[in-house]
Chain A
Amino acid sequence: MKKKKPVQKQKAPKKPKEKAKTKTKGKKSVVEKPILITIPRPKPKYTPAPGMEDLPQQILGELFAVIEAKKWSDAKAKPFIEKASQQFQKNKVDSGEAVGIIAAQSLGEPGTQLTLRTKHFAGAAEVSVGSGIQRVEEIVDGRSKAKYPVMTIHLKEPLNKSRAETEKFAKGLIDVRMGDVLKTHEDLAENIVIIQPLEEEMKEKGVEPPEILEKINKQLGVNGRKKKLGYEYSFGRTPLLKVRRQLLKLLDLRTKGIRGIEKTIVIEENNEFIIKTSGSNLKAILKLPEIDLEKTITNDVKEISTVLGIEAGRQAIVSELYGTLKENDIAIDIRHVMLLADLMTFSGEIKGIVRTGITKGKESPFARAAFEETTKHLLEAAFKGEREHLQGVVENIIVGQPIKVGTGRVELVMKGKTK
């Protein structure tokens, strides 16, 4: 076990890199054959002194930074490192610590402090995102769709320095359907449809009229004749129902942009212009060449996990949840959030903290019955001939035995008096 630990620890800071690589892979695969990328395990930068093999690389880095700054010799640095190592050992979790319960308490206790408000971006911008308790619930439930999906898009170098360029690009992303720029009038008796392009809307949304016309002709299979109101399409003897269907299909046809992106707004942040969108489509956006793959992100946790994999999904849960709690001024250690995220993702897919998620996968019929749908679980246990092994907390409480957590994990024997 001792040997295994450092490997795991190095993995943690490596994660963002890993993510970036996957993204590049996704993009390239369109043109090239998919390449299997093996990421070389970074060599440990710092060689730990004996007795402090436990210290993670990151902490070693911090320690050595101090030593370098102070220009200490090895001998001088020794007591410093020793003290650090001592403190590290002192601060470690005790085995048997009920970390799960503490994490649940840390998230649940301040729950009432969470507000119900919806937060608005950058004071007056249009993109709003659910924050407060609804947002926390949404993440924790592992729902397949976020209620207010928002993407934060970073562009590559020269592009992101100019507001005009960024705005132009942002405008191009908006999903515009035919119905947004066209108005239709139907003449049922003659079986004629008049389609009127709305010039103002077209201009605002950046759609070119000739392009549109072509698409309309193609979709309807008839060429229109220009009339006073707009373009007239005659369908002759085609049944009404068919015309209707085609028309609806036409109006739903995308003229430009990316599916799902409803609105965009450009914000200046840290000397660069970034795009916030309402509506999210990570997969399609990441395929665009102008995008900075490493920074672009969506707030839809499920989407991240399907596009970038479960590790990225875990990271997304951590950062989204932690961010939301911080916004609400709730102090919480990130380890609690990580534990929750790990529990939600360890099976390889995001499972919500709901009766159909984590609880469903529990082995113990008592644990399931005590949570929700009592009779259903008892009957199921009965006809499947399940066995209750009494390993968890509630199970043992139910039968009246000590729980196997904390001091309940160990047996205490008093030493007799020695004469």
Chain B
Amino acid sequence: MLLKKITAIEFNILSPEDIRKMTSMEVKTAETYDKDGYPMEGGLMDPHLGVINPGLRCKTCGQKMKDCPGHFGSIELVRPAVHSEFSKRLEELLHETCSQCGRIVIAEEKLKELTEQAKRDPEEITKKILTKTKKVTKCPHCNAARGVMALDKPTNFYVDKERIYPNQVREWVEKIPNSDLRLLGYNPDLVRPEWFVLTVLPVPPITIRPSITLESGIKSEDDLTHKLVDIIRINQRLKDNIEAGAPQLIIEDLWDLLQYHITTYFDNNTAGVPPAKHRSGRALRTIVQRLKGKKGRFRHNLTGKRVNFAARSTISPDPFLSINQVGIPESVARELTVPDFVTEWNKNKIGELIEKTDTVLYIARPNGVRKKVTDQNKKEILEELESGFKIERKLLDDDIVLFNRQPSLHRLSMMAHKAKIMPGNTFRINPIVCKPYNADFDGDEMNLHVPQTEEGKVEAEKLMLVQDQILSPRYGAPVITFEEDGISGCFILSLKQTVFDKKDAMQYLYEMGYTELPPADQEKKYSGKLLFSLALPKDFNLEANSFTHSMLLKTGILKDKNNGKEFDSIVRIKKGRLEEGIIDAGSLGEARGKLVDKLGRDYPPKVTEQFYDKLGRVAIELLTRKGLTVGLDEYETSKSVERIREHVLEEVLEEAKKLVEKFKRGTLEHIPGRTVKESFEIIMMQLGAKAKKRVEKQLMQEKIRELLESKHPQYNTMVMILSKSRGNPTNVTNISGMWGQAAVREGRPKRGFKNRLITLNDRNDIGAMAGGFIVHNFMEGMDEKEFFYHAMGGRQGEVDTGVATKVSGYLYRRLANSLKDLVVANDSTVRTAANTLIQFVYGEDGIFPGKANRGNALDLENILEATESGKK
């Protein structure tokens, strides 16, 4: 619970009085430690400024390291110095005001008018005054002549090319009356411009600039301390020289040096000033550098915080876990603890835990006294245990934990799981949840967090559990679903040809968690479809086209789009029974899977979870037994494909030749709006693509038939492609058909040597073979030219992904930053943090995308079905 709440933080500028008031001591000596290694009295490491050694007490507040926040000191500057970050403001003020009377150099009546206008738009008036006053040569108030003001960045001011020193600047701006300052955009109650010229410098507490003792015993100081030492030293020298009556020139030099040190103390990257260096030559990291950028205080420490009760390890797959579970190594469970309250209801259970196991590590009485539980004091503890006590115990099965994989690009990158303590050293997850995490098992590591409060646990369980994240808030369709092997497995399972005998069927049923054998559906045999149906809820109905169906139509094997019988390609599920159809990505895939979509939307999350758990296990078991491997024989080019390819090649080369001739003769017709050369390139490009398409079609036709019509389908490449679990037709064409035209930036590769792409070509040859056309495939291997063409296309892809991640990363950061405060308010409007109205009703209809039916507020079909079935 929050005991103290910050409601607001006020920013302003410290006045010299403020600085002196908050000072615990004046720092006078440049030395930090004396010969014996003790901090110097009056030095920068004086214990009045706070403590960094455990055990010591602060000389100002008397507290120990943990409680003492540290205290500011101060340095009285012998001569004032400009605060470099404000010199621009000072410049403006000098432009706007008179050096004699301090008034804005605008006549009184006009000023009154402006004051009136400033009530409406103060910033506009401030700007207006600056432009108006810049060229005024005479003060309308006191008639004093005005010189030309100039700022030599960062801190030197000139009037009529004559230097004015910080003390003069200070005296000047001191004269500006409060009423005029208001007009210039200042709030004089909080900020006076003379404070921009420092007369006293605050020294931050030691806690902000701790020194480090190296192993060798040498103390190493913080960069800020180094800089402060410089300032004190020069300040002292300046003082000595003034007291000794040194010539003006020397004093001014020292003064400038003091100014330099103060400037770099604030910002060591000020333009026009050489950065201050450490002895080793490294530039010092001073105040501005500490705050700025990705590694700065704001982005690194304040908006990104470190936590306790977290663990990190490599992940590995375990299909026998539920999607809601995460396997946690015993060694991790032992270290991570959960607090638990002892109440009347769980007193006995906790007592048992203490007595019989070593799960409970600490107990705490209501007054906060903590005690470690050991074998020796177990009995004692059991006796005094009563409700109101708190315990700290090891992680147990079914505890709620948060699991996360970086980069955390969306909210599904961190979900709640139920712990399952297991032997081993890796975290284990069901491979189905890889998708939202974007994880694989090639060495990925993930983080685990254990919520420590009841609120935290409940929130995580109710809102973040994996089963409740199945529908994506991005597009309102399932994201957590089978992929790769899961889909391949279901595909094979649901093939007509897949039939099991009793022994096998029993094994699969066991994997699914069934101990009873359903009646056989094919004379003593059990079809894969039967097993699949068991995972479905009993009242599930669905009719949908499979992905295979669309592939059949695309390749022209199937002409009638309503003919699902021939290849069993239309899925029909009635009352939880898969009557016909092949299950593939069309039913199970991410975002487009009709089956999982319906399941996720119409049934409680628990049902979907069980469906995934059961089916996932059979699919994996099936593949484990069958083996999902590919062999070279799958990619052998058949005679018919070979014939088509040769035929196509001949045609293409012939046509390309004609084109080249036409182009060279200048008779090529150009595409409207394009030059002849461009048109030529485009046509050549299309030619190559067309050729590949034709080969691909023939190849696909053969391969698909091979798979669906054979009694014992064995070619797994096609299993993967047809089920859309991995790979696509182009991949197969590349391997056993032909590679086709290489492309760089949407066109034929063109940059290379003079008048030719690579030196293997003849000069000025613009034909197909010299422009990146690859006739071979991976099985045959490419020739020298083709090898280079292929590499050109490959490289572009590589570069593009690199650039895209960089650009999109920054884009995302900006989007997140400007959208992060938008929230649906209690009146269902969308508002910003400052309560500005953005939308009257969220998304024009108030429907949340994660609940909507692929963007539609209602699922009419579903409602219709429900009402009609309800009526019957």
Chain A residues within 8 Å of B, Cβ to Cβ: 1, 4-5, 8-9, 12, 54, 56, 58-59, 62-63, 66, 79-80, 83-84, 87-88, 90-112, 114-118, 120, 123-127, 133-134, 136-137, 140, 263-266, 331-336, 338-340, 342-343, 346, 353-354, 357-359, 362-367, 369-371, 374-375, 378-379, 381-395, 397-402, 404-407, 409, 412
Contacts and interface: CB of A to CB of B under 8 A. Distances in A.
B224 to A, nearest CB: 16
Interface string B820-855: 111111111010111111111111111111111001
7 contacts: A1-B828, A106-B410, A126-B674, A264-B673, A340-B815, A387-B9, A394-B303
Interface residues on B, range: 35 or more
Contacts of B801: 112
Contacts of B86: 379, 383
B847 A386 contact: no
B863 A83 contact: yes
Contact of B812 (A94, A111, A358): A111
A397 B187 CA distance: 29
A97 B841 CA distance: 13
A117 B746 contact: yes
Interface string B388-420: 000000000000000000000111000000000
B260 to A, nearest CB: 19
B486 to A, nearest CB: 20
Contacts of A94: 824, 848
B336 interface: no
Interface string B290-302: 0111001011001
B815 A104 contact: yes
Contacts of A378: 11, 291
B303 A388 contact: no
Interface stretch (B30-38, B58-66, B472-480): B472-480
B833 A392 contact: yes
A108 B409 contact: yes
B859 interface: yes
B432 interface: no
B8 A353 contact: no
Contact of B841 (A9, A123, A331, A395): A9
Contacts of A402: 2
A109 B672 CA distance: 39
Interface string B846-872: 111111100101111001101100110
Contacts of A397: 302-303, 305
B192 to A, nearest CB: 10
B824 A331 contact: no
B8 to A, nearest CB: 5
Given A112-B805, A335-B849, A385-B190, A354 B12 contact: no
B292 A83 contact: no
Contacts of A370: 298-299, 302-303
Contact of A338 (B836, B844, B859): B844
A333 B812 contact: no
Contact of A365 (B11, B411, B805, B825): B11
Contacts of A334: 843, 855
Contacts of A379: 85-86
Contact of B819 (A79, A340, A365, A394): A340
Nearest to B411: A105
Contacts of A90: 851
Contact of A9 (B809, B823, B845): B845
Interface in B795-823: 800-801, 803-805, 807-809, 811-812, 814-823
B459 interface: yes
B682 interface: yes
Interface string B1-17: 01001111111110000
Interface centre among A137, A343, A365, A395 (most CB of B within 10 A): A343
B799 to A, nearest CB: 9
B823 A100 contact: yes
Contacts of A63: 860
Contacts of B683: 124
A91 B819 contact: no
